[in-house]
Amino acid sequence: MTAISECRQGSSARVEGQESIAEAPDLGSDEDKESDLPSVKPSRYFDALEGAELEELKDHEVLILPKGELWPFLLRFPLNCFGVCLGLGSQAILWKNLHLSPELEFLHIPKEINIFLWSIALLALLVISMTYLLKVLFYFEAVRREYFHPVRVNFFFAPWIAGMFLAIGVPPSIAQSVHPAVFCCFMTPIFILELKLYGQWLSGGKRRLSKVANPSTHLSIVGNFVGSLLAAIVKWNEPAIFFWSVGLAHYIVLFVTLYQRLPTNEKLPKDLHPVFFLFVAAPSTASVAWLYITGDFDYISRIVFSIALFLYTSLVVRINFFRGIRFTLSWWAYTFPMTGAAIASIEYSHAASSWITKILAIVLSSVSSATVFTLFITTLLHTFVWKTLFQNDSVIAINARGVKNSPLRSSRNMQLLDGELFTLENEPLHRIVLHHLTHLLSKDGKTSSTQKQLHVHHSGQESISTPERSFHSFVDDSQKLDPIAAV
């Protein structure tokens, strides 16, 4: 019997035997008391995890899910899978522009490439969206923890941005124009997320920008410029200007915050990582969006494109710093900034036609396409050949209260009884010893009335806190609810 099955049985036994027991008092902060579910502070993610994407568990931390086995597939399916859709969708736009560009007509780019990439991007978006929707339905608490993660929260913008990429890059043989309803469908969720996220930046608190800013935060900015571009395509210039302005204002604030690294910032890795290519995404997309708003690649478009080009170059010349970095799905989100720079260079070659600008457009397009192709092959190998792509996701299983390893806590939990899981977290030493003694004195190894009392404080309340019990709820039914069984 696996640890997850044992966790399920143990939790069910406690619920059946202790339905009348009152809930334990919440010992957390005021922010934790806002909900019965564990509201993990941003600082906890920085304390428990490391790496540019805050996905690697530190040695001194413990998880509240079994670490020695694979969890159900949906629990291992991260939100940053939508980065695949961003990379493929932006490539569809790139090859559409290469096919339609008069300055690059000598390349004789066939339209079938755009159709093929667009179809692949659409299929990827549908499959990933349906899979993540199952995760939302069956393991909502895991999704909630991804929302509180300082890096993962920005990937909630990714599916809507990917949808707008498909609308912008739709092949002319499929649709000659885009209906304004498409813009409303994809931009409304982004606007709602921005009101929540930007409001936290503005009002301060534990999730103020200086506390949680990281390169992935650019994803929350790029949505404004992509939406502005789509609004200009459907001839809604006023909304296009509105979202372009909002994006510009917050991009400047984010850019300065990340450049300064204020003393209030949480520590980020010193080594460079592909995540830093997201610096290029916003100015590249902004230059193309302004072109469609005004109808001309004027000085504003050229200024922001120049910023993107400089940032791109400053990262490329430090390519040695990117060696030896473990492949993750988040790398896909870092391909579309390169593609965005290539698309902007194509428009720039049209505005300032010369052999230099044409070479620049060809080089940037070739680099971005080669990168996406390489990542596509690598992803397939990790998924179907090496089967190492979907590993246990530590992000959703860190302890909200920061319980760390010690001689008595060498494991996250201790299997003492058949079908019962005893949690060491928040338990005083004398209660742990008493639990051991009671188990040794039991004749059949099953739960007795005395053992049941070990899970209850002297006040008649459960020793396992409400957040801990709530998080285990989505594990209890993992075997029967997860349509894709753990391998």
Whether residues 157 and 202 fall in one domain: yes
Whether residues 424 and 358 fall in one domain: no
Task: Report the SS3 class of residue 57.
Answer: strand
The verdict on residue 433 lying in a domain is yes
Domain that holds residue 438: 3-69+400-481
DSSP string spanning 98-130?
Answer: HHH-STTGGG---HHHHHHHHHHHHHHHHHHHH
Q: What is the pLDDT, as a whole number, of residue 42?
A: 80
Q: What is the pLDDT, as a whole number, of residue 362?
A: 97
The verdict on residue 111 lying in a domain is yes
Whether residues 460 and 416 fall in one domain: yes
Question: For 65, phi and psi rounded to 5 degrees?
Answer: -120, 155
CATH number of residue 88's parent domain: 1.50.10.150
Whether residues 294 and 374 fall in one domain: yes
Q: What is the pLDDT, as a whole number, of residue 471?
A: 44
The verdict on residue 486 lying in a domain is no
Whether residues 406 and 379 fall in one domain: no
The verdict on residue 94 lying in a domain is yes
For residue 461, the 8-state DSSP code is: B
**CA pair distance 275, 322, nearest whole angstrom:** 10
Q: What is the pLDDT, as a whole number, of residue 197?
A: 94
Whether residues 97 and 33 fall in one domain: no
Whether residues 386 and 404 fall in one domain: no
Whether residues 366 and 458 fall in one domain: no
Which of the listed residues 394, 411, 443 is the one where a domain comes to its end?
394
Which of the listed residues 394, 426, 451 is the one where a domain comes to its end?
394
The verdict on residue 359 lying in a domain is yes
The verdict on residue 25 lying in a domain is yes
Task: Give the contacts of 70 (CB within 8 A, at least 6 positions apart).
Answer: 76, 391, 392, 486, 487
Which of the listed residues 373, 394, 415 is the one where a domain comes to its end?
394
Q: What is the pLDDT, as a whole number, of residue 264?
A: 52
Whether residues 309 and 343 fall in one domain: yes
The verdict on residue 74 lying in a domain is no
Whether residues 310 and 419 fall in one domain: no
Total domains, the chain: 2
Task: Report the SS3 class of residue 295.
Answer: coil
Q: What is the pLDDT, as a whole number, of residue 47?
A: 83
Whether residues 230 and 297 fall in one domain: yes
User: Cβ–Cβ contacts within 10 Å for residue 73, how many?
Assistant: 18
Whether residues 39 and 167 fall in one domain: no
Q: CA-CA distances (angstroms) from residue 54 to 82, 219, 269, 332, 373?
A: 17, 16, 10, 16, 26
487 residues of the chain, pLDDT tens digit each: 444 444 444 444 443 444 333 333 333 333 443 334 456 888 888 888 887 778 888 888 888 888 888 899 999 999 999 999 999 999 999 999 999 999 999 999 999 999 999 999 999 999 999 999 999 999 999 999 999 999 999 999 999 999 999 999 999 999 999 999 999 999 999 999 999 999 999 887 778 888 888 889 999 999 999 999 999 999 999 999 999 999 999 999 999 998 887 555 655 554 557 788 899 999 999 999 999 999 999 999 999 999 999 999 998 888 776 776 778 887 887 799 999 999 999 999 999 999 999 999 999 999 999 999 999 999 999 999 999 999 999 999 888 776 555 443 433 333 333 333 334 333 444 454 455 455 555 544 444 444 444 344 444 444 444 444 444 555 554 333 334 333 3
